[in-house]
Amino acid sequence: MIIFLISIFNDKLVVRLYINDKTDIDKIISLGINDISAIDLRKKYIDVVVNETEYNKIKNLYPSEIRLRSSDIKTLINFGPYYTYNEAMSEIQNFYNSYPNLVSQPFIVGLSWENRQIKGIKISSNNNQKPAVWFNSAIHAREPGGVSALLGFANYLLKNYNKSLEVKYLLDNRDIYIIPVTNPDGYVFNEIYPSGMWRKNKRDNNNNGTFETTYDGVDLNRNFGYMWGCCNGSSPNPPDETYRGPSPFSEPESQAYRNFFNQIKPTIGVDIHTYSNLNLWPWGYTSTPTSDDSAYRTLAWKMFRHNAYRSFQAYFLYMTDGTTDDWIYGATNEHNKALGWTFEIGENFYQPDTNIILEQVGENIFPFLYLVKASGPYIEIEKFNYIFKNDTIIVQISGQNLGFNNPINNLYANLKILDNNNAIGIDTIAYIGNLNSLGYGFFNIQFKFLSLNNCKNYKVHIVFYNNLGFNQIVEKFIAGQKNQVFVDDFNNNSNWQVNGGTWVFSNGYLRTNPSGTLYNNNLNTDVRLLNPLNLSSYDYVEAIITHKWRIEGDYNALDNVYDFASLDFSNDNKFFIPIRRFWGINNNFRSDTFDITRFKDNNVYLRLKFYSDAFVRDSGWVIDKIEILSANACNITKFDEPLKADFSKIKVSYKDNFLILSIPYKSDIQVKVYSINGSLILNKTFNYQEEIRIKLKRGLFIIRVKTDREEILQKVIF
């Protein structure tokens, strides 16, 4: 019993060692130091978790600093704002109770060594089997930040089902599986374990009936069968933190994971960890890239614009084997090929600050949404442009199919104008053809329609469909006439609250630091609007930021992001979602425009955030102007006479190469005739005549007639 107590109270340290290159990492591992929490070869450091004895082995070999002493953790948090195991299980039950039409009754994936339930939920709007995506967290017991990020994402999906057409489509067309605590024994142990730093499960390795922290437990993320123990990426020694277990899938937790994953057959599998702010993908056991490296990189590019996480193949962090993401991608003898991902969230294992936790949830909303999209066929519109030519509006769009291993064949797109009284379509159906999978399936198409009454604003749906059952609606807005809701050119700080840092309002600019200086290290500061904006009454809202920057990192390299600036929005001034993050070098002012309609509400908060690490500094972020513009669709035109297919009371006929219009009431008449491609052929106003004759060759035309009583537009063929 005394030994048991001593082992429990053995202090753990998170130590940063400053190294020269990767050979130093190999040397550190050869000393038996294999519990690695972070590596950055550019910054030349490695973070390791060690006890006092191990620390004494290495502290004189490399310059070092203690980043966290585990004996301080419990007095600091007592799990505080993080979910305990019971709270996480209660939360998924609450999701079901609050949204029974969107959330399944929590189900048991499997049991742990100590017979705790590994529970999950499925988020989906119906029971039809659909493309599946898998999210799990806390496979390592000391990583509650991943549980918070995952349950926060689930909460976002449920709250936005009836607010966002995008979220609604995903819940209507995906099965989203959420398994918040994959290692319940270890997780619960950390709730009482003084250091809170237990990593493994609670297998009794020597079968002596006593749990010994110096010998027992298996690293579940080294216990998966694909390339298990192949390459010195795990340990065969039970005392080690990366002990892989006696055999592949020897643990009930990894068996439960495997069996349920193989049963539901997801296309994407995401294992959420802490920490390091990384997105990682296979392989971990070899430097050779996967055959789907292009697909991985395409998704990584989309995600890291929002969370600014360095993104690369897992091997280049350090070698691992028997991991979840390698098994998800590689074990095609057990399931269809799926993209396996590892997220490393945050800057430490325990960051018990509600604001930091909300930050970690918010910065991963868009990345997680991308992974849900990629789990099945999904059209992502990359560019949406429109041109006004007289009464003709030309809409040009380009995009791609994000779905992994989900080509879309015989694809069409149909532009639907939601207010048909103010416009008529000309070319509103486009054939796209066969669209390949993620990373390859790009398209460019064009639509045309004619506007009535000089209307410039339209809410439109672009419907993508084929004869094989695919149907996706993307809502867009044509905003030819916008109104300014808010603008600030930073002549003073009267609209803003400054939170930390050295922000400067000077000469019509907002700067992260005074002109001619470098920003400070270790910043996590922001400037936010004092008063929220009421955007609830608008159909469309956009934000325009005019800015330039020099911030450490390279925006064109997935693995080179350290400091960043961020444009964020919130509806409660607490939970902010980054619409875009910026780093690298942009020496000249440019204006970036973002659709922020998803945030429209009675209270919309804007935040400008800046983050820096402890290393390289530069001249920072300079913002010239922030502008919020809005638009509403045109009001439905009302006529004295109803619009009818036969031009209401106007009679149309054709004889001897003449278009003949008969008007049975007194009125001036404006007549416009268009070719079928939208070109204006005739634009003429007539004084009242009972019959108007216009010379016109036979063909297909669009005729627009405006009188004092009505305005109508219709296709005709003669």
Catalytic residues: 344
Minimal CA–CA distance to 16: which of 62, 56, 66? 66
Beta bridge partners of 268: 133, 339
Give the per-residue SS3 of 472-503. Answer: EEEEEEEECCCEEEEEECCCCCCCEEEECCCC
Percent composition of the chain: helix, strand, coil (DSSP 3-state, to 5): 20, 35, 45
Minimal CA–CA distance to 145: which of 188, 89, 82, 92? 82
CA–CA distances in Å: residue 573 to residues 78, 504, 606? 27, 22, 8
- Of the CA atoms within 13 Å of residue 93, those in its CB half-sphere come to 7
Could you write out the DSSP letters of every residue in 248-314? TT-SHHHHHHHHHHHHH--SEEEEEE-SSSEEEES-SS-SSPPTTHHHHHHHHHHHHHHH--EEEEG
**Tokens linked to 406:** 């989900």
294: left (phi over 0), alpha (psi -120 to 50) or beta: alpha
Burial code of 325-356, b = ≥16 C-beta within 10 A, e = fewer?
A: bbbbbbbeeebebbbbbbbbbbbbbbbbeeeb
Given the structure tokens 């039809």, which residue do they identify?
128
Sheet with strand 429-435: strands edge to edge: 429-435, 408-417, 457-465, 471-479
- Residue 256 CA to residue 251 CA, distance in Å, equals 9
Sequence letter at residue 681: I
Beta bridge partners of 85: none
- Residue 223 CA to residue 321 CA, distance in Å, equals 8
Helix axes 165-173, 144-159, angle to 10 degrees: 110
CA–CA distances in Å: residue 606 to residues 18, 414, 524? 38, 35, 16
Beta bridge partners of 504: 511
The answer to whether 92 and 218 are in contact (CB under 8 A) is: no
Sheet with strand 36-40: strands edge to edge: 36-40, 45-51, 12-18, 64-69
Strand runs labelled E in 598-710: 605-611, 620-631, 651-655, 658-662, 669-675, 680-686, 691-695, 700-706
The answer to whether 192 and 84 are in contact (CB under 8 A) is: no
β-strand 429-435 against 392-401: which pairing, if any?
unpaired
